[in-house]
Chains A and B, each alone.
Chain A
Amino acid sequence: MKNKAASWFEQRLGLRAVFAFLTKKEVPQHKHTIWYYTGSSILLFLGIQIVTGMMLALYYKPTLEGANASVGRIMTQVPLGWIVRSVHSLSASCMIALVMVHLISIMLTKSYRKPRELTWMSGVLLLVISMGFGFTGYLLPWDALSLSATKVGTDIPRVIPVVGAWVSNFLRGGEDVTGDTLTRFFLFHICVLPLLVILALAVHLYLIQKQGISVPLEAERDKDKVRMLPFWPNFVLRESIVWLVLLGLVVTGAVFLAPSLGPAADLMAPAPQGIRPEWYFLFLFQTLKLFPANVVGIPGEALAVFLILFVLGLFFFLPLIDNRPAERKGKVITGLAYVFLAYAAALTVWSLL
């Protein structure tokens, strides 16, 4: 009976080829192997996001009157609702943190080098989409802080000439942040961004399978000495332990660090004190605040936005910029990565003080 069922599925799905591929797949073992776990752990947090997001969507109402009240209901009336919301919020932060750590580890080990340029680019795209999830999700509780932060965030594109005002109006669904913005952000959060993340992730995973897992430059020089670990079951079992520990930490963190919910936002009320975006936007927020009103006749905010977009562009096209032969890839990119990390950390701490 069991064999018959297996044969029935095999004839239709051809899963044997997938299993054969998985048993042949290998993961390099060297002193930087730990970074490989960051990539696969992102998938754990994405899975948690999808499951908890669907649970929250069962009760959430994306309307001006219902948004804040429905989140309040989730936190106080729905069984285990506050833990589910807290896990969703904390795992979102963890996912973005891991995407950042993963990209930085790739940058430091120069794993973006030929032929993995597109893998890097799809990774950067995934970071941008993840931050988009954070930005759109921040407004959904519709409290005073999230409304003001969204007003500031959606106002920033206005400094870009020609298309800026259009982008801002498109995000807001009008001149100002209103109930239409909430509906749009909810749509982006549960429909548009998930579709984009699935597409980018599919491309990213396909490229990883096609090119194989990269090894750091220094390990590649002694390629014969690199030990290969079978993906199944050796690596999967190790990864399972990492996933279990992360799952435990997220649930424990969700119980003790559950986010509170402020009173419903009032569109006519003045902005409250201490408007602050999520932690991953803090260094950008502080960068914007650092610039003076005018720099040689150019508005400071516009200059800061262009600078941020320029750095993001450099980051995206890094494999094409640093296209020297592998043996000549030097310490410049490593140095720049450390400078960027120090800058981001310093400005984040400064913003929190």
Chain B
Amino acid sequence: MIRKRIALAMVLVLMTLAAAPLLASGSPGQATATAVFPQTPPDKAKVETIHPAPKNIKERSAVYVFLVWLWLTIGSLIYVFALKIREADRILSLHYYQPDKSPRRRRLRL
């Protein structure tokens, strides 16, 4: 139970932390916009292919931080779900919801 609470707390902290770097550095889309539009004349912009990769180190960092946060959150949630699966499987193996098939009940009958 304690481990579960720790994991849930970790998820909450990670989710809160996620907003900080993105807000601080601006969104990647905005950074791309400022990187592309002021430097390119409108006529030229029409004929150029737009490559959506991060344009500067600030934007690149924000995207990487977002990805790290995403995978940490996913990892934490997987850990919580794995604990829950173990618990659910244990309850299933004990036939908790089918008392007639429960090994303990069978032993008592004997």
List of A residues within 8 angstroms of B84 by Cβ:
233, 237
Given contact pairs A251-B67, A251-B70, A261-B50, A75 touches B32 in the complex (Cβ within 8 A)? yes
Interface segment out of the listed B1-9, B12-20, B23-31: B23-31
List of B residues within 8 angstroms of A86 by Cβ:
52
Nearest chain A CB to B100's CB is how many angstroms away?
16
- Cα–Cα distance between A230 and B89 once the two chains are bound (Å): 9
Q: Does A321 contact B (CB under 8 A)?
A: no
Q: Does A299 contact B (CB under 8 A)?
A: no
Given contact pairs A80-B28, A82-B32, A258 touches B88 in the complex (Cβ within 8 A)? no
Contact with A along B48-92 (1 / 0, CB 8 A): 111111000000000100010011001001100110110011001
- Cα–Cα distance between A227 and B38 once the two chains are bound (Å): 63
List of A residues within 8 angstroms of B71 by Cβ:
248, 252
List of B residues within 8 angstroms of A252 by Cβ:
67, 70-71
List of A residues within 8 angstroms of B88 by Cβ:
230, 233-234, 237
User: Which listed residue (B28, B32, B49, B82) contacts A260, Cβ 8 A?
Assistant: B49
Are B29 and A263 in contact, CB atoms less than 8 angstroms apart? no
Contact surface of B with A, Cβ cutoff 8 Å: 27-30, 32-33, 36-37, 45-53, 63, 67, 70-71, 74, 77-78, 81-82, 84-85, 88-89, 92
- Cα–Cα distance between A252 and B71 once the two chains are bound (Å): 9
Contact surface of A with B, Cβ cutoff 8 Å: 72, 75-83, 85-86, 229-230, 233-234, 237-238, 240-241, 244-245, 247-248, 251-252, 255, 258-264
List of B residues within 8 angstroms of A79 by Cβ:
27, 29-30
- Cα–Cα distance between A251 and B71 once the two chains are bound (Å): 10
List of B residues within 8 angstroms of A233 by Cβ:
84, 88
List of B residues within 8 angstroms of A85 by Cβ:
52
- The tally of CB-CB contacts under 8 A between chains A and B is 85
Nearest chain A CB to B75's CB is how many angstroms away?
9
List of A residues within 8 angstroms of B89 by Cβ:
234
Are A255 and B63 in contact, CB atoms less than 8 angstroms apart? yes
List of B residues within 8 angstroms of A83 by Cβ:
28-29
User: Which listed residue (A76, A234, A245, A248) contacts B32, Cβ 8 A?
Assistant: A76
User: Which listed residue (B45, B78, B92) contacts A244, Cβ 8 A?
Assistant: B78
User: Which listed residue (A241, A247, A255) contacts B82, Cβ 8 A?
Assistant: A241
- Cα–Cα distance between A187 and B3 once the two chains are bound (Å): 51
- Cα–Cα distance between A254 and B110 once the two chains are bound (Å): 61
- Cα–Cα distance between A82 and B35 once the two chains are bound (Å): 14
Are B77 and A258 in contact, CB atoms less than 8 angstroms apart? no
Nearest chain B CB to A264's CB is how many angstroms away?
7
